[in-house]
A and B are shown apart, each in its own frame.
Chain A
Amino acid sequence: MRKIIKNPMSLAGLIIISIIGILAIFAGYLSPFDPNYININAILLSPDGTHWMGTDALGRDVFSRMLHGAQISLLVGIVAVGISTIIGIILGSVAGYYRGIADTIIMRLVDVMLSIPSFFLILAVIAFLTPSIWNIMIVIGLTSWMGVTRLVRAEFLSLKERDFVLAAQTLGASDLRIILTHLLPNSLGPIIVSTVLGVASAVLVESGLSFLGLGVQAPTASWGNILTDGKEYIQFAWWLSLFPGLAILITVLGYNLLGEGLRDNFDQNT
């Protein structure tokens, strides 16, 4: 923790993420209005004291929608990355620890998944299922585990030959015990870095999907679909396009800064 604060990059990232995280968690309390309340007397108002980020074409308060959108974007990002990290750790552990045929099959599967353009893959799956927030999380998670798998496998390959692992094996520790208490804790650094960077790209993918109308569906607010609604009015309601884009930019920037800062720290340790 002290190292995160010492590195200006990860500190900046951590501050950004914390602020956005707090805003998202307390969106219900912080929102001045109901995010889905339609007020036909307050259509497309520019930002002022009451509506901090103006109102949209249905008279809904953009600031409240942005806060609730933060909740959705972060939830999708974190759950999706949780799914991909769990898959990656399991497959990577099996491949790296047991080698042999399991390793060959898993690594070929990684190669195959990496050769299908991932945005095509995600859209294709969404075409066959219906777009909903849960499907989006699962689909993003199921199409982004390849990096973690490779990483965990590589870490295991080098750790496996180390003396402390040989010692544990000699003492008769079970495979599961060696993986969980010796190998995984020692590969945690790179896994955390890839998880943090993964949230950044998942937030971008979700907002892209929602922007295309294939992600989070109305009336649920997400940064992507606020932007889609707003783009029709870009000529006379700039606030509808400016704020969601900025929010995505800042959030992704925050996760990237933290991730890269952490990577620097771990690199210095080794």
Chain B
Amino acid sequence: MLNYLIKRILWMIPMLIGISLISFFIMHLAPGDITSNESAFNPKASEESRQKLRELYNLDKPIIVQYGLWLKRIVQLDFGSSFASHQRPVLWEKKDENGNIKPGLIQKALPITLLINLLTILLIFSISILLGTIAAIKKNKIPDRMITLFVFIGFAIPGFWLALILMYSLGVVNQVLPISGLHSIGYEQMSKLGQILDLLKHLALPVFISCLSGLAGISLYVRNGMIEILNQDFIKTARAKGLYEKKVIFVHTLKNALLPLITILGLSIPGLIGGSVIAESIFAIPGMGKLFYDAVLMRDFPVVMGILTIGSILTLLGNLIADLAYAWADPRIRRGLAK
């Protein structure tokens, strides 16, 4: 197991180099010098910050040296500071000349996005396992058809459109749920429980919107996995020896169908992180997606590059955790690695 872990972590190094190469390439897409006005660079940026940018990316040096320096900065997780947002540091808090602590942009935004994504994943898995199992048991009957229809609509419905409709019907017309931000006015005065409830209320719509396409995909996946396993010999054996149908479904079949979901979970992370842009900017939630969107609009390049890199590193970490969890959960792999 330890060998596998080491191998798996070492494998991330070439991946990180690849990611840094692509980020570096994107940075050089902008026509001409990225600090020049011709490249539609934010005209509000001062000559001073422009000079800082030139120094930051070492634009006067040969391209290979530029890449080496950029890689060095990524390794040290140094992404500089934002052009806008009072030149706050991109990643982590720093003291400025006057000794005041400037909080990092990603530092503040990341926990919010992680919370939304964790809730989203929890919801996706609990609901899709339920729907997938029902559809598999009732294969080709009405419940299965209904769930398949739901899956297709879930795939096709534009999240931002549904968000708009829900915002209007639940937030404006009926005022059941808040439609923007994370906290209500008077949040500070609420009890601990009240604060949590308030936060959950604010997160209800964004989490629901983020769930939608994942929910459709994974329900379908569980359904097809269950159907395939239900046709296998060991299930026939289980039934032949007179096990209750409930035990056959929930113990023998579901357990086997759920295993590959761990990998799917790992693969769905980049989609979830990327998807946060739309949900967060519609509901004005100050997470990574909104931060990224605002940075793109203002052409705040240090923030754009920082989030792109951190988002990719998060994806790599997510895949690592999923792979390790799979190796741990599947006895076939676990024993193979132990040998």
Contacts and interface: CB of A to CB of B under 8 A. Distances in A.
Given A117-B274, A120-B307, A120-B311, A256 B155 contact: yes
B275 interface: yes
B316 A129 contact: no
A227 B18 contact: no
B315 A115 contact: yes
Contact of A115 (B157, B301, B312): B312
Contacts of B277: 119-120, 123, 212
Interface string B60-93: 0000000000000000000000000000000000
A176 interface: no
B273 A249 contact: no
Contact of B311 (A108, A117, A126): A117
A167 interface: no
A121 B308 contact: yes
B160 A211 contact: yes
Contacts of B281: 212
A118 B15 contact: no
A244 to B, nearest CB: 8
B156 A249 contact: yes
Nearest to A111: B15
B271 A128 contact: no
Interface of B: 14-15, 18-19, 21-22, 26-27, 29-30, 34, 39-40, 152-153, 155-162, 164-165, 168, 172, 267, 270-271, 273-275, 277-278, 281, 292-293, 295-297, 299, 301, 304-305, 307-308, 311-312, 315-316, 319
Given A118-B270, A120-B292, A252-B155, A234 B168 contact: yes
Given A119-B275, A128-B29, A241-B161, A253 B15 contact: no
Chain A interface mostly? helix
Q: Which of A116, A127, A208, A257 has the most CB of B within 10 A?
A: A127
Nearest to A207: B158
Contacts, number: 144
A208 B270 contact: no
B299 A127 contact: yes
Nearest to B20: A112
Contacts of B316: 115
A154 to B, nearest CB: 16
A76 to B, nearest CB: 14
B18 A245 contact: no
Nearest to B313: A115
B90 to A, nearest CB: 14
Given A115-B315, A115-B319, A208 B278 contact: yes
7 contacts: A117-B274, A127-B295, A128-B27, A129-B30, A231-B164, A245-B162, A249-B161
Contacts of B22: 112-113, 116, 121
